[in-house]
Amino acid sequence: MALDPLVAALVLLAALMHATWNAVVKSDTDRQTSMALVMLAGVGMGLVLLPFTNDPFGAGMGREAWGWLACSVLIHCGYYTCLLKAYRHGDLSQVYPIARGMGPLAVALLSGFVFGEALSSREMLGAAVISLGIASLAFGPYRGTPEQRRHSLLYAVLTGCTIAGYLVFDGRGVRAAGDPMAYIAWLNIVEGPWVAVFAFATRGTEFLSAAKRGWKRGLAGGAIATLGYGIAMWAFTKGGAAHVASLRETSVIFAAVIGAVLLGEGFGPRRIIAALAVGAGLVLMNWRG
């Protein structure tokens, strides 16, 4: 099901937000603290949002929605762990495309089974072109050692697997919840503390000192991350899951630009071609003819 132009525009905004908060974490020297603050900001925003939902106590979401939410929280913890390890070894403009490129194709392949949304051959081709275009951004000169490259590739692929998983879980959960805002709020509240809890358990006062120094940066990134993912989850209730997932992963184009302009990671003809491939895939998926 092709997306309404307004929904598509908001998903593109969410994609930009996603690339932005990833750049915030990648560019920080203490990425664990930065990630913890991003997640804690999500808890705060979820608590602020709850009173304005139709189901502030989550009682109306039902067992099915809570089950999907619990699965999402578990796989999100794996996602944050693998993402931090990937960024330890690789550049934003190489790790990010590999991780994000797996999501659109995985959701497209699972759409019929999981969401009951059978895609046409044209739409499947579009999802494949998008994923290939995204993943191609990751190939090129690498500034680290061969061992670092292997580690960055491994953790980027593992991150991609967790992304495909939480897109499926949250896509089902937000639809089952009845009130998308309530699901989004509770997801942020439940998943938010764990990176900070782990950081404090392993680093103690060192983590608290780092959080005190970088709280403004981390919380700003968290506000962007929470709003961006909230938009994406809302979009799952307004259009086809594969279409939303594919459009959201255009965040890699924004990430490539941010990596080149702000982080000095380089940009060239290869990435322009990859961007054109992503654009062509999106046209194939959302063509209304």
The pLDDT score that the predictor gives to residue 209 is 95
The whole-angstrom separation of Cα 6 and Cα 108 is 22
Highest mean predicted confidence (pLDDT) among 98-112, 217-231, 248-262, 273-287? 217-231
CA–CA separation, 105 and 245 (whole Å): 9
| Dihedral of alpha carbons 23, 27, 30, 31, sign | positive
What is the reported pTM? 0.81
Q: What percentage of the chain exceeds 70 in pLDDT?
A: 92
Backbone Cα Rg of the chain: 18
Residue 10 predicted with pLDDT over 90? yes
Dump pLDDT digits (tens) for 145-168: 777 778 888 898 899 889 888 988
Which tens digit of pLDDT belongs to each residue from 178-237? 888 999 999 999 999 999 999 999 999 999 999 999 899 888 999 999 999 999 999 988
DSSP-derived secondary structure for 204-247:
THHHHHHHHHHHHHHHHHHHHHHHHHHHHHHHHTTS-HHHHHHH
Find out whether 166 and 236 touch, Cβ atoms under 8 Å.
Answer: no
pLDDT grade, residue 257 (50/70/90)?
A: confident
Residue predicted with more confidence, 74 or 125: 74
User: Which residue in this structure is represented by tokens 């330890």?
Assistant: 88
Residues 6+ apart with CB under 8 A from 54: 60, 178, 179, 181, 182
Asked which of 24-33, 173-182, 203-212, 255-264 is least confident by mean pLDDT, the reply is 255-264
Q: Which amino acid is at 54?
A: N
The answer to whether the CB of 260 falls within 8 A of the CB of 135 is no
Mean pLDDT of 118-140: 77
Q: Which of 11-20, 23-32, 120-129, 210-219 has the lowest average pLDDT?
A: 120-129
Of 22-36, 47-61, 149-163, 196-210, highest mean pLDDT = 196-210
Residue 221, both tokens: 């990134």
User: Which of 71-75, 177-181, 256-260 comes out lowest in average pLDDT?
Assistant: 256-260
